[in-house]
Structure 1
Amino acid sequence: MGKSFDPAKDIGSLDGKVILVTGGNAGLGKQTVAYLAAHSPTRIYLAARTESKARDAISDIKNSVPNACEIVFLPLDLTSFSSIADAASTFKSQESRLDILINNAGIMAPPYSTTKEGYEIQFGTNHMGHALLTKLLIPTMLDTAKQPGSDVRIVNLSSMGHQMPVSKGIEFDQQALEKESTWRRYGSSKLANILFARSLALEYPTITSVSLHPGVILTDLFDNLRTNIFMKVGLYIYGIIGMILPGHYQGPEGGALNTTWCATTAKDELESGAYYMPVGKKSSGSSFARDEGLRKKLWEYTEAELQKHGY
């Protein structure tokens, strides 16, 4: 069983903190922003691709959280390195600190396609896009970590789905991924989220970096699946599992608890580099998630790719 956690009662003041949440316009991201906005951070940047959806989400959050802090829309398309660079530049032009980065956005089980830079769409969005955003914001986070009393965190949303990757764990040949099932591709992208958090913890010890499984959640992430009758049956079973398994949730309100706990719990309750199940329960993850060689290979590949594109 995980920890008992009530965001209304268990989150201390976030006064002075600046927070950025990717994919904050819907589902878990939107609920996470709502939980955090009620505890007086200086600002929350809601990063999303579609401005109209982001504006609607901000309006909804402010209506449901009367004392919400300032919430700023930040344009971000994780499938485009230029969009990511623009988002980071915009953020840095407006802020001198970043206390909490929540890499929440993600896609699940779409047909094979690639990002603008040629990465398989799930690996490119869920891992490479967030890796670039994180790299560009790291200098600001390192500066923040130098300030007295600072508590800087990077929270990466992974999934229990990381246990079903391709046979190699991660396939770095993006064209070869077309032959893999969409679920295997998804599993590999979520495995990358765990391994990347472990690498961040090693590379930047003054920043607490963790990854997590939010729980069994039925959100708009499943939109790609609802048109297929077999997937509809699968979603029904998935929902039943969510009601049976302890610490697993069906809706965003429950699903955002683990993210919010990782972002706000006392620093001494977190182990940098660790992977957490709901809520606040440390897990070893799969054997691939513990594979030091694969962790190092992913880090080196990611750094080389970002450098190849000028970052």
Structure 2
Amino acid sequence: MENLPKDHFVTSLQFTKNVYQDVYPSIEPTRPELSVAGKVVIVTGASRGIGARGIAPAFAKAGAKAIVLVATNAAKLATVEARLKAINPNVQLLSVATNIADEASVANLFATVKANFGHADILIHNAAVSNGAGVIHEQDVDTWWSNFEVNTKGTFLLAKSFITALPTLDTPATLVNVTTAGAWLVIPFMAGYSTSKLASQQLLAHFAAAYPSLTTISLHPGLVDTDMTDPAFERFNKDTPELVGGVAVWLTSEKAKFLSGRAIAAQWSVDDLVEREKEIVEGGLLQMALNGKLGKEQFQ
């Protein structure tokens, strides 16, 4: 990858005419149109990286009633709580140390949410792992499979509990899954991470089909500098955590509902996406599909 331009992972995946790598006016979370006042928001992977620096602060700025911070490290979650209180003194905060790959731990999370708030309106599923480097013959089986335990099974467990906890299955709610462009590309040395994230992305398409009142969108965050960033990507231009947070808030708005069951990248202009709504919906765009002309009619 040493010969690729520094903006390769923006331009090569560009779907909208305009692209961004930092917050811009349409996704500024303090805009009244993006208010999530009265809403309870769960953010997983909230102790560090994009969750702590981008997503949770954005929902605090957007006026959430409450933010439930989820990660395995309780001490780090306490630090994030202090940061959010400085942003919005009125937001209610609840930290729940959770192993999202464990059914009992996830059940405890949602029992705690129920006891404090009844149910959550928004789930931003950001937690993930990238375990094991190297091509397939170099991989330890258990390490490789651990990606699926967290990234795929974890997505299923969280979504199942989130949906089950809603007052009715017709209750409007939003589930945003932070995915990766690695789910769309072939990266041989990241096969475990990429394929496990692809599976979680496809789960959201199934949720969208099964629950029409639930808006489910997968969000590729771009290339954000975190402790999960593979050294191979260090030389490329980075996107800010604030960009991801602003887009995550926008995805909970009415304008984003047409994207349910689809995947987008944080760098894509949300204004351009809205302008292309008819094309995206009628053309079945931004969904995973087998690339080829199918059907017996072509041979008749």
Indicate the TM-score class for this superposition, using the shorter chain for normalisation. Answer: 0.7 to 0.9
Q: State the Cα deviation string for residues 139-188 of structure 1 (Å, max 9, x = none).
A: 22352844xxxx4111111111112358xxxxxxxxxxxxxx65011110
Closer/same/farther in 2, CA of residues 253 and 104 from structure 1, 3 Å limit:
same
Alignment partner of 1:253 is 2:260: no
* Higher relative contact order, structure no. (Cα contacts within 8 Å, ≥ 6 residues apart): 2
Deviation at 1:260?
A: 2.5
CA distance in 2, matches of 1:144, 1:67: 33
Tell me, yes or no, if the aligned pair for 1:25 and 1:53 is still in contact at 8 Å: yes
> Out of 198, 202, 206, which is 1:195 matched to?
202
For structure 1, list consecutive stretches of 5 or more residues without a partner in the other structure: 167-180, 226-230, 243-248, 293-311
TM-score (norm 2): 0.73
Give the structure-1-normalised TM-score.
0.71
Which digits, 9 at most, give the CA deviation of each residue in 1:50-102, with x for residues without a partner? 10010011112222x04451111012112323222222222223332321011
Letter in 2 for 1:290: A
Match of 2:82 in 1: 59
| In 1, Cα distance between equivalents of 2:105 and 2:228 | 22
Which residue of the partner structure matches residue 40 of structure 1? 63
State the shift of 1:204 in Å. 0.9
Q: Percent sequence identity over matched residues?
A: 24
Q: Which residues in structure 2 correspond to 1:61-140 (within 5 Å)?
A: 61-63=84-86, 65-110=87-132, 112=140, 114=142, 120-140=145-165
Which position in structure 2 is the counterpart of 1:290? Answer: 289
SS in 1 for 2:153: helix
Alpha-carbon distance change, 93 to 254 in structure 1, aligned in 2, over 3 angstroms:
same
Alignment match, 1:50: 73
Task: Work out the CA distance in 1 between the residues paired with 2:37 and 2:121.
Answer: 11
Structure 2 counterpart of 1:163, from 176, 180, 184: 184
Instruction: State how far apart, in whole Å, the 2-side matches of 1:139 and 1:270 are.
Output: 23
Q: Structure 2 matches for 1:127-276, cutoff 5 A?
A: 127-141=152-166, 143=168, 145-146=170-171, 151-164=172-185, 183-222=190-229, 225=230, 231=231, 234-238=232-236, 240=237, 242=238, 249=239, 251-263=240-252, 265-267=253-255, 270-276=258-264
Task: Provide, for residues 205-246 of structure 1, a one-character-per-residue CA deviation record: whole Å limited to 9, x for no partner.
Answer: 111111111111111223xx4xxxxx3xx23223x3x3xxxx
Equivalent-residue separation in structure 1 for 2:184 and 2:169 (angstroms): 34
Distance 1:131 1:9 in 2: 32
Per-residue deviation, 1:199: 0.3
Aligned-residue CA RMSD in angstroms? 2.7
Structure 2's unaligned 5+ residue stretches are 1-17, 134-139, 292-300
CA contact (8 A) 1:201 1:207 kept: yes
Q: Secondary structure at the match of 1:107?
A: coil
| Conserved? CA contact 2:67–2:93, under 8 Å | yes
Seen in structure 2, the aligned counterparts of structure 1 residues 184 and 11 have a Cα distance that, compared at 3 Å, is: farther
C-alpha contact (below 8 Å) 2:57/2:245 kept by paired residues = no
Secondary structure, in 3 states, of the residue corresponding to 1:15?
Answer: coil
How far 1:285 moved relative to its partner?
5.1
Measure how far apart 1:267 and its partner are. 4.2
Matched pairs, number? 249
Is 2:183–2:197's contact at 8 Å kept on the other side of the alignment? yes
Q: Secondary structure at the match of 2:228?
A: helix
Q: Tell me which amino acid in the other structure corresponds to 2:113.
A: F
1:54–1:206 distance in 2 versus 1, CA, 3 Å:
same
Which amino acid counterpart does residue 127 of structure 1 have in structure 2?
T
Distance 1:218 1:11, change over 3 A: farther
